[in-house]
Amino acid sequence: MVPFQDSVPQPGPGSRPLAPGAGHAGMMSAMPKLIEQPSVIQCVGTKPKVIQEYAGRVNSGHGAVSVARMVSPEGWEEPGQRPEFEEITVVLKGTLRVEHEGGALDVRAGQAVVAARGEWVRYSTPAAGGAEYVAVCLPAFSPDTVHRDA
C-alpha cells in the first residue's frame, strides 16, 4: 500500500510558491469560481422540460464536463441518442426511464445511472409527477456530439 503522503498530487510546472502554510504544499492555487446562476437550455422532447446548465459549454465554457439540472413533466420523452460522451445521471425526485438496446431501467430518486459513450439510450419520465435529476456529461454535452435519432 502506498503511504498517504506519497499519493498527494505534487505542484505542476508554473506553480508559484506562497507563504509557508498557504495553499497545498505551499503552492498557489486557483480561487474557487462562483457560478451565480445556470443558463436555461432549450430542450427537445414531447413536452416542455427545464434544463439548467450550471457548468458546461454554454454557461461556464467548460468543454471537459457539463453539469445540468433537469425537471421533466410526466409523459415527457426525447428521441433516442448515441452520444460521444459518458452521461452520469442522479435522480433527485421521481423516476427517470432509460431505454437501451438491451431493455429499460427505471431509475428512482436516490439512484443513479451511467450511460457509456457510444451506447444508444432514450430518456423519458412516464410516471406521475415526472422527475428532477442532475446529469453530468464527460466530455461536456454538445448538440454536435449527442447524435439523436432522426
Average pLDDT of span 118-134:
98
Domain residue ranges of the chain, discontinuous segments joined by +: 37-146
Q: What is the pLDDT, as a whole number, of residue 25?
A: 55
Q: What pLDDT does 18 receive? A: 47
* pLDDT band of 39, cuts 50, 70, 90: very high
* Comparison of pLDDT for 14 and 66, the residue scoring more: 66
- CA distance readout (Å), 145 to 10, 16, 71: 34, 38, 22
Residue 73 or residue 27, greater confidence? 73
Q: Which of 46, 97, 90, 96 is nearest to 68 (CA)?
A: 90
* Choice among 20-24, 36-40, 91-95 with the minimum mean pLDDT: 20-24
Alpha-carbon span 8 to 76, nearest angstrom: 45
Q: Which class does domain 37-146 fall in? A: mainly beta
Phi then psi dihedrals of residue 100, to 5 deg: -145, 175
Q: pLDDT, tens digit, for every residue of 48-103? A: 999 999 999 999 999 999 999 999 999 999 999 999 999 999 999 999 999 999 99
Other CB atoms within 10 A of residue 30 CB? 6
pTM: 0.80
- Pairs from 26-30 (Cβ < 8 Å, separation ≥ 24): none
Whole-number pLDDT of residue 29 = 75
Report the alpha-carbon distance of residue 103 to residue 134 in Å, rounded.
22
